A and B are shown apart, each in its own frame.
Chain A
Amino acid sequence: MDHKQFKVIVLASLFIAASTAQADNIVETPDFWLESGKRNIKAAEQLKPNNTYAKNVILFVGDGMGISTITAARIFEGQSKPNNRGGEENSLSFEQLPYLALSKTYSANQQTPDSAPTMSAIITGVKTNDGELSVSAKLPREEKNADVVNANKVKTLLEQAEEKGLSTGVVSTARVTHATPGACYAHTSERDWESDAQLPADANVKDIARQLVEFNIGNGLEVALGGGRSMFLPTTVADPEDTDKTGGRKDGLDLTKQWLNKYPKSAYVYNKAGFDAIDAKKTEHLLGLFERSHMEYEHDRLSDAGGEPSLTEMTTKAIDILSKNKKGYFLMVEAGRIDHAHHAGNAYRALSETVELSNAVRKALEKTNAKDTLIIVTADHSHTFTIAGYPQRGNPILGLVKQPGEANFAKDKNGLPYTTLGYANGPGYRGSNVRPDLSSTDTAHPDFLQEAAIPLGSETHGAEDVAIFASGPQAYLFHGIQEESYIYQVMAKALKLKPGQ
C-alpha cells in the first residue's frame, strides 16, 4: 500500500467516523452493519504491502497500555464526542493503522515483566532480565563492574541509526532516564541507577543520565524531551522551577551545561515558554527537562506552575528537528504515565494519558509520509485493568454498571452497585468487610480509585499479550502473535540495518 492509498483509507475511515458522529439519526440496522462491513472488506483488499525501506521510523510506546486500556480509552474518548453512538464505535488514531500483531511480553526471567527488559527487547531484539537495560540476560542484575557490563552490551536500534547517520531522539512524559527511554541509549545492569546518587559507592559503571549526555555514537542524540531534571543537576544547584529544591547529582556535574558545551547549535529548556521559543530550524540538539521527576499527568498539566508541553507538542517539535536530516531519523515517543496511573489504581488518568498518546500519533501521521515513514504503536507490557459486568451501550465507561433496559444499577451479591472498570490488585482495595456502597459516589471523578480485589500499595503489571499497530514501510510484517523482540527486527529491516550489528 503506498502513501496515497493509505491516506485514502485513513481519510475514508475518518469520513465514516465523522459521518457517524454527525448523523445522530443512524440506526444500527442489519443493512448498516452489512454495508460498513463491505466497506471495510474493500479497504482491506486494497492493502498492498509496502516493501520499500523506510527513511524514518517513529516508535510510540504506551507504557503499560494493555488491550483493555486501549478499549476503555477508545470508549472514554468516544463518549466525549458530540453525537456519539455510545462511544464504543470510536477509534483512537492508532487503531486505524492497517497492520496489527500481538506481542508476547515475558522477560528472560519473569512471566510478568517490567519496562526495562521489555523495552530492551523492543529496541535491541534481545530479551533480558527484569531491571536491566539493553544488556544480555547473562549479566547479573546490579553488576557494578563497568568492564563486565560493557562485555554484555547489546546494540540498540537508536545506536545503529546514529552509526548510519540518521538523527535520533527520545521523548517521554516520564523521566528521560526512566527504563523505556533509557533502554534506547544506555546499557546498565540496574534501571534505578539514573544518576550517580543512586549508584553504589564501589560501582564504576556510568549512571543513565550521564550515558545520555556522553552518548558518542554518530553525532549524539538530537532530541531528548521529558522529565528527570534532578538526574542532570548537582545538589549545589537550585532547581529552576521548584526553587526550594536542588538537583540530585552528588558528583557536582551539571549535565545540562555539559549538553550545551558538547553540541553546537544546542539548547536546554525546562519550561513551556522556553520550549515554545525553540526554533526547530536553528536547533540541532535539544534537551528539554520539564520536571524534577516525571512530567505531570495530562489531566494536571495545565495547572503546573512552570508550564509543560504536551506529549503531542513534544512529538511535533521532535519531528521538526529530526526531519531536517535528509538521511532520515529514528524517534521513540513514550506515553510514560499510563503505567503510573494504573499503578496508582486511577483509571481516569490512565485513559486520559492514552487519549493524549492517540493525539500525538495523529499529529505524527499528519506530519509524515506513510511512503517513507514506518510508524509503530505498541505497549511494553499490560496491567491488571479490567472492563467487566454487562453495561448497556453508552453506559459511562467510568460509571457504575447498568444493564440494558434497567432503571437501576446492577448489584453484587451484597446488593451493592459496582463499576465497569476495576483492577485485580492495587491501592483501590476497600477492606475485608462488605464492599462500599458507591451509589452516590462520583466514580467518574478524576481522583476516584477503581476497586481492586487484592490489597497492594501499588497495582502491578499484567502478563497478557499487548498489541502492535503499524503503518508504512515493512509494516505488513506485523501479523500474528510475535515475541516482543520481533518489533526490533521489523524496524531494523525497514531501516536496512543488520540485526545486532
Chain B
Amino acid sequence: MLKIMLWIALLLLSACAQQPGKPLQIQALEQLPALAAEFETIVESDGGQQRYQWRFWRTAKRVETHNLQDNTGEIWTKSADGKIAYERVFHDQQQVIEYTPGDLNAIGSVPDWSAIATLLNQPMIAGLVEDDHEQVLGRPASHYQSNTLEVTWLDREQLPALIKRNDHGHTITTRVIGIYPLAESPWSYQRSTNYRYTDFADIGDKESDPFIQSIQHKIKGAHNHSD
C-alpha cells in the first residue's frame, strides 16, 4: 500500500514538473484600471547606452504617453464604435498632428487597442510563460519569460513592470519607476488650449510650413500594417 501511495505521489510530482507555466492573460480591456505610470527605457548595444524616461496615462478610452527626453507624446482614443484615432503631440512647439481612423486606414496602420493599453502585442504575449512571482513597488507581480522576451506583469494594474528584449544586437529594457491610480497621478496631461492642431491629411499641402518640415521624420506615415 505504501509503495502504491509513493508511486502515485511520484507520478503527481512528475506531472507537476512537466506542466508548462501559465501563459500571460490580459483581462477584459474594458476593465483595465485607469492609471498613470512613469517608465525608464534603456537601450544597450556595443556602442553604449541610451536612457530615457516617459510617462503613461490610461483610461478605458484613452491612452497618452509623454517622452520626457524630446518632450513629445502620443495620444490614442477609442470611440464608442471602437474606432481608434491618434494624435502626435509636440509639446515644445505646442503642435498636434491628428489622425482620424480613416487617415490611419489610408496609411495602412491598424492600431491594436490591447497593445496600446498594455504595451504588449499578441506576438509578444504568445510565447510568454510564467516562472516566478515577486513584488514591484510593493505590488504583486508575475514574472514571464520566452526565448526573446522577459516580462514582469503587475497583476492588479494589468501593466508590465518590466519588458526586456534583445533586438538586432540591442538589449532594450523598459522598467516602471512609479505608478498611481489616475486620480492620484502627480503628472497632469492637461495641455494648454493654445496648441495648434493639424490634420494628417493636410500635411501634404503644408510643404512650406517650417514646423511640418521639421517633424517629417517623426510622424506616422509608414508602409506596414501594424504600426
**Closest residue of B by beta carbon distance from A291:** B100
- Checking A131, A179, A300, A344 against B208 with a beta-carbon cut-off of 8 angstroms, the contacting residue is A131
Nearest chain A CB to B141 CB, angstrom units: 33
Pair B217/A457 contact, Cβ less than 8 Å: yes
Instruction: Write out the residue numbers on chain A whose beta carbons fall within 8 Å of the beta carbon of B103.
Output: 344
- Checking B102, B201, B205 against A114 with a beta-carbon cut-off of 8 angstroms, the contacting residue is B205
Known interface pairs A130-B208, A340-B201. Does A427 touch B102 (Cβ–Cβ under 8 Å)?
Answer: no
Q: Main SS of the interface on chain A?
A: loop
Instruction: Write out the residue numbers on chain B whose beta carbons fall within 8 Å of the beta carbon of A449.
Output: 107-108, 223
Pair A458/B223 contact, Cβ less than 8 Å: no
A457 to B101, CA, bound (A): 18
- Checking B79, B107, B193, B196 against A346 with a beta-carbon cut-off of 8 angstroms, the contacting residue is B107
- Checking B105, B204, B223 against A343 with a beta-carbon cut-off of 8 angstroms, the contacting residue is B204
A276 at the interface (CB under 8 A from B): no
Known interface pairs A293-B199, A447-B225, A457-B221. Does A305 touch B81 (Cβ–Cβ under 8 Å)?
Answer: yes
Which A residues from 245 to 281 make CB contacts under 8 A with B? 248, 250
Pair A244/B221 contact, Cβ less than 8 Å: no
Pair B223/A340 contact, Cβ less than 8 Å: no
**Closest residue of B by beta carbon distance from A456:** B216
Pair A244/B207 contact, Cβ less than 8 Å: no
A229 to B216, CA, bound (A): 27
Nearest chain A CB to B81 CB, angstrom units: 5
Pair A447/B108 contact, Cβ less than 8 Å: yes
A412 to B61, CA, bound (A): 46
A56 at the interface (CB under 8 A from B): no
A430 to B203, CA, bound (A): 20
A75 to B197, CA, bound (A): 38
A341 at the interface (CB under 8 A from B): yes
Instruction: Write out the residue numbers on chain B whose beta carbons fall within 8 Å of the beta carbon of A192.
Output: 206
A429 at the interface (CB under 8 A from B): yes
Pair B199/A428 contact, Cβ less than 8 Å: no
Number of residue pairs A-B, CB distance < 8 angstroms: 93
Pair B217/A198 contact, Cβ less than 8 Å: no
**Closest residue of A by beta carbon distance from B62:** A244
Nearest chain A CB to B11 CB, angstrom units: 48
**Closest residue of B by beta carbon distance from A450:** B223
**Closest residue of B by beta carbon distance from A194:** B202
- CB 8 Å contact bits of A274-314 with B (1 = contact, 0 = none): 00000000000000000001101100100101000000000
Instruction: Write out the residue numbers on chain B whose beta carbons fall within 8 Å of the beta carbon of A428.
Output: 223
B26 at the interface (CB under 8 A from A): no
Known interface pairs A235-B193, A427-B107, A428-B223. Does A457 touch B208 (Cβ–Cβ under 8 Å)?
Answer: no
**Closest residue of B by beta carbon distance from A178:** B202
Instruction: Write out the residue numbers on chain A whose beta carbons fall within 8 Å of the beta carbon of B217.
Output: 457
- Interface centre among B196, B204, B222, by most A CB within 10 Å? B204
A349 at the interface (CB under 8 A from B): yes
A303 to B79, CA, bound (A): 13
A369 to B182, CA, bound (A): 64
B80 at the interface (CB under 8 A from A): yes
Known interface pairs A198-B196, A248-B197, A449-B108. Does A296 touch B102 (Cβ–Cβ under 8 Å)?
Answer: yes
Pair B223/A427 contact, Cβ less than 8 Å: yes
A345 to B108, CA, bound (A): 10
- CB 8 Å contact bits of B50-85 with A (1 = contact, 0 = none): 000000000001000000000000000101110100
Pair A343/B80 contact, Cβ less than 8 Å: no
Instruction: Write out the residue numbers on chain A whose beta carbons fall within 8 Å of the beta carbon of B101.
Output: 300
Instruction: Write out the residue numbers on chain A whose beta carbons fall within 8 Å of the beta carbon of B106.
Output: 297, 340-341, 344, 346, 349, 447
Pair A345/B107 contact, Cβ less than 8 Å: yes
A115 at the interface (CB under 8 A from B): yes
- Interface centre among B80, B201, B207, by most A CB within 10 Å? B201
Which B residues from 158 to 213 make CB contacts under 8 A with A? 193, 196-197, 199-201, 203-208
Instruction: Write out the residue numbers on chain A whose beta carbons fall within 8 Å of the beta carbon of B77.
Output: 244
Which B residues from 26 to 59 make CB contacts under 8 A with A? none
Known interface pairs A235-B193, A427-B223. Does A344 touch B81 (Cβ–Cβ under 8 Å)?
Answer: no
- Checking A115, A293, A457 against B100 with a beta-carbon cut-off of 8 angstroms, the contacting residue is A293
Pair A427/B222 contact, Cβ less than 8 Å: yes
- Checking A198, A343, A345, A427 against B201 with a beta-carbon cut-off of 8 angstroms, the contacting residue is A343
A189 at the interface (CB under 8 A from B): no
- Checking B80, B197, B221 against A458 with a beta-carbon cut-off of 8 angstroms, the contacting residue is B221
**Closest residue of A by beta carbon distance from B217:** A457
Known interface pairs A244-B77, A428-B223, A447-B225. Does A460 touch B196 (Cβ–Cβ under 8 Å)?
Answer: no
Instruction: Write out the residue numbers on chain B whose beta carbons fall within 8 Å of the beta carbon of A461.
Output: 204
Which B residues from 101 to 136 make CB contacts under 8 A with A? 101-103, 105-108, 110
- CB 8 Å contact bits of A437-460 with B (1 = contact, 0 = none): 000000000111100000011111
- A-B pairs, top 5 by smallest CB distance, nearest first, are A343-B204, A427-B221, A458-B204, A457-B216, A340-B201
What are 8 A-B residue pairs whose CB atoms fall within 8 Å in the complex? Answer: A130-B208, A244-B79, A300-B105, A305-B83, A343-B205, A447-B110, A458-B203, A458-B204
